[in-house]
Amino acid sequence: MELNRSKGFIISSSVLIVMFIIASVVMLGIIGFVLFLKVHIYNIAQYEYSYNNAQLALMALLSSTYDGERVSNLIGECYAAGDCSDIKQVLEQKLEALVESKCYKLSISSTVLASADCEPTQYVSTARIALPYKSGSSSSSVEVLKLVND
């Protein structure tokens, strides 16, 4: 009789412990899933906004003018000439105003035209820049301008 009672007690205690573990796992699972969903939703909305802004920043930069000349033309001309140091400051001033994070890098191929003191990696936007005609050539070439910002 005594043996049966202690057996029953052990079985009940074991069931209770197993249920407690299952309940904890289920609750942790629900909380984890909710957190995952929240992070996922935030990332989608924030990424769309920031990526959109990266593209707008590049578009605004190229549409703007300096000394009566479109910046897109200035970049094409200086890149073809192999020296963009003259407009580096202008580009940096404009990008400083356009990029909220203040962390950006503007480049064509491996040539960095303007950059801040950081290494941006998150949002990449590109635009094609027409280079001026070279003497003796019947066609102009196009290079891809890349803006990376955080």
Partner 1 sequence: MYILLGFFTIVVIVAIIIVLLRGILDVRNYIEENRLLIDTTNLAQVLLSSDKLCYADESGIHRGVFYEEKLEAAEDDPNVVFSDVYNPEVIYSLYVEDKEDDNSWYVSDLEETIIEKTFPIAIRYTNGETHVGMMTIKIGEPYGIE
Nearer to partner 1, 19 or 109 (CB): 19
Helix axis angle, 85-98 to 2-63, nearest 10°? 130
Tell me the closest approach of the beta carbon of residue 13 to partner 1, in angstroms.
8
Q: Is 46 in the site for partner 1 (CB under 8 A)?
A: yes
Footprint (CB under 8 A) of partner 1, residues 53-72? 53, 56-57, 59-61, 63-65, 68, 70
Footprint (CB under 8 A) of partner 1, residues 8-27? 8-9, 12-13, 15-16, 19-20, 23, 26-27
Binding residues for partner 1, rule: CB under 8 A, are 8-9, 12-13, 15-16, 19-20, 23, 26-27, 30-31, 33-34, 37-38, 41-42, 44-46, 48-49, 52-53, 56-57, 59-61, 63-65, 68, 70, 93-94, 97-100
